[in-house]
Amino acid sequence: MDFSLVIPALNELQKIKHDVENAASFICEARLRGKIIVVEDGITDNTAEAARSAKIPSSVRRVVIRLDKNSGKGLAVKTGIKETKGDVV
């Protein structure tokens, strides 16, 4: 089964790396094929860099999308869902 996980993020520098690593662990432990999509919603910190630096297995795909201005959690989630190809989102 192909699994996609969307993480909307607004100034999550302190926790995004941990969130991405935990999501990747879940995907691997559940023996799923997976993709983690982080959508930055008009951030003003280094959330993107932290998400990209998270240590995850090569079997888990990672995408970081940046929205230039804060548009709300709903649009961030919708944007991430548009990038999914998984059986389960």
63 Cβ contact partners less than 8 Å away, ≥ 6 residues apart = 35, 36, 37, 38, 83
pTM score over 0.75: yes
- Reading the chain (89 residues) residue by residue, the pLDDT tens digits are 789 999 999 999 999 999 999 999 999 999 999 999 999 998 889 999 999 999 999 999 999 999 989 999 999 999 999 999 878 99
Name which of 14, 5, 80, 4 is nearest 41 in CA terms. 80
Structure tokens at 44: 């003003």
Q: Which residues of 25-34 are buried (b: 16+ CB within 10 A; e: fewer)?
A: eebeeeebeb
